[in-house]
Amino acid sequence: MQASQEEMRVAVGESFGGGRMGLLGVARFFWGPGPRFGLVLAVLLALAGGPAGAAESDSTPTPRQARPDQAAADEPSPEEATASKAPGNKATTDERIAALEEQVQVLAAELSAERVAVAVPEDSEFDPVWGVGPSAAKVYGQDSGLSIGGYGEVRFQHDPKSDDIFDALRAVLYVGYKFSDKWLLNSEFEFEHGGKSNVYVEFLNLDYLHSEALNLRVGLILLPMGFVNQLHEPTFYYGASRPEVELTIIPTTWRENGAGFFGRLSSRLTYQAYAVTSLKGKNFDASGFRGGRQKGAKSLANDWSFVFRTDFEAARGLALGASVYYGNQGQGQELAGSKVGSLTTTIYEIHAEYKLHGITARALFSHAFVDNPNALNAGIQAFNMNPDNVEKKKGYLAQSLLGGYVEVAYDVLPLLLPETRMSLEPFFRYERLDTQASMQGSTYARSLEYDQHIYTTGLQYKPIPQVVFKLDYRRVVRESGDALLSEQVQFGAGYVF
């Protein structure tokens, strides 16, 4: 609201003249629905006109509002005027100054908090929403405007057979903006390994929120598969490293350009369905699909794939879900002079999570099928025979890849400190992974080193829900002969906001 010159003159005159409106009246006059710089003006007026009236009630009429006889009655007598100048009233003046300073500090704090809240909303419930992590989900709870969040982690790895590595693994910034009740933008920017090697846009979603049951998304989309591809903050998963099954068969973090729909069909049932650009199949090999991720960077779109996911809250604390991915991955490419063919690929996974009474238990199984992988394997063989690729040799792509894991954790701190917000969770995870479960014919042989058992056990401590410290021991054993492939001691620290 724009104040008229007369209104401003009255307010200023009353502040200077010690009228009953006082400093708070002036502050409210400017604070109201108008400009926020009124606080500064009120302070300047108080410094110029003195503290008179600061403690008066706003409901008391000012001299201009009072009747003439009331105004005359309010005039101080000569004795009162003399008494007001006595040295003994110094304490009263000091008290008024102290009260004024306190009021200014309170108003300034409120203004500062309001401005910060506009840009960075207060963290309330760290729950995932619509296929993004809890920190990125804050923008959905906004009425409008900017939302900022993020996460990060560092990791130390001790390997008896190699160098110890301490890595600033990633620092991530979420930036969301809600344009209106229907339209919002959500994004994730990631700096990996101290920012030295990789800087990525992890996702970039433009959402149209039509209704609870039907909403549109277009952009760089995190594929809705498994546990950690969409929810990959360090506070969510156990261990300093993500599960190996969700790095190879589900090549986390997996995102592609595309569009689709998501929504909630009932209080217990949600879905996501997208059409996305396919992987670059020429980069597949024995280790899985991870090398084929295009990550939204000038993505080949000669082939497209489709992904669908559904999640169901089966009972209190128990969530069940499944997803499937299907499409050609060849993109019309060739490797070492050999056409890779269509590489039609199907990946499915089923998962379950139980979380109640301090117990967290997760289970996931994933299976992938590739049609005619030997078209690519002919190119891999030619690639490996090139003397320039001695240090880049690839293993052969399988017709079938499978993997799964189970993990369980228990929060022991509530047993000792029932009212604590902290958590201390011993955990154990067992993974079974075989990225060469079956080959196409006998032309290209499988290697036993890709058939693995992976054991991870450790401890996770959260002093507050947004900060986590992890310590674990990880052991990888070959299926045949129980040969030890690798072992590591890992320490991790992470945060989310």
Residue 129, pLDDT score: 76
Q: Are 491 and 471 in contact (CB under 8 A)?
A: yes
User: Percent of the chain, pLDDT > 70?
Assistant: 77
Tell me the average pLDDT across 71-84.
47
> What's the pLDDT at 40?
40
In the predicted structure, residue 30 carries a pLDDT above the cut 60: no
* Distance, CA of 185 to CA of 243 (rounded, Å): 30
Name 165's bridge partners: 157
Decide which of 3.30.70.3190, 2.40.50.140, 3.40.50.2300, 2.40.160.10 is the CATH code for 136-496: 2.40.160.10
pLDDT of residue 127: 52
Question: Looking at residues 458-485, what average pLDDT do you find?
Answer: 95
Q: Would you list the domain boundaries of the chain?
A: 5-118, 136-496
pLDDT digits over 402-432, tens only? 999 999 999 999 999 999 999 999 999 999 9
Q: Is 272 helix (H, G, I), strand (E, B) or coil?
A: strand
Question: If we measure between CA atoms, which residue out of 300, 301, 446, 439 comes closest to residue 370?
Answer: 439
Q: How far is CA 51 from the centre of its chain?
A: 48
Q: How confident is the model at residue 134 (pLDDT cuts 50, 70, 90)?
A: confident
Q: Which of 49-58, 223-232, 446-455 has the lowest mean pLDDT?
A: 49-58
Please give the C-alpha separations between residue 148 and each of 48, 138, 188, 218, in angstroms, as whole numbers: 41, 8, 10, 21
Q: Average pLDDT for residues 95-111, to the nearest whole number?
A: 74
Is residue 17 over pLDDT 50?
no
> Which of 67-81, 117-131, 433-447, 461-475 has the least mean pLDDT?
67-81
Q: What is the pLDDT of residues 372-393, one digit of tens each?
A: 999 999 999 999 999 999 889 9
| Segment 188-229, tens digit of pLDDT | 999 999 988 788 999 999 999 999 999 999 999 999 999 999
Quick one: average pLDDT of 441-460? 96
Name the least confident of 69-78, 333-342, 477-486. Answer: 69-78
User: What confidence score (pLDDT) does residue 196 get?
Assistant: 81
- Residue 128: band (very low, low, confident or very high) from pLDDT cuts 50, 70, 90: low
Lowest mean pLDDT among 5-14, 194-203, 222-231, 281-290: 5-14
Strands in 42-197 per DSSP E:
145-158, 165-178, 183-192
Q: Which of 310, 126, 152, 229 is nearest to 136 (CA)?
A: 126
Quote the longest CA-to-CA distance of the chain: 116
Average pLDDT, the chain: 84
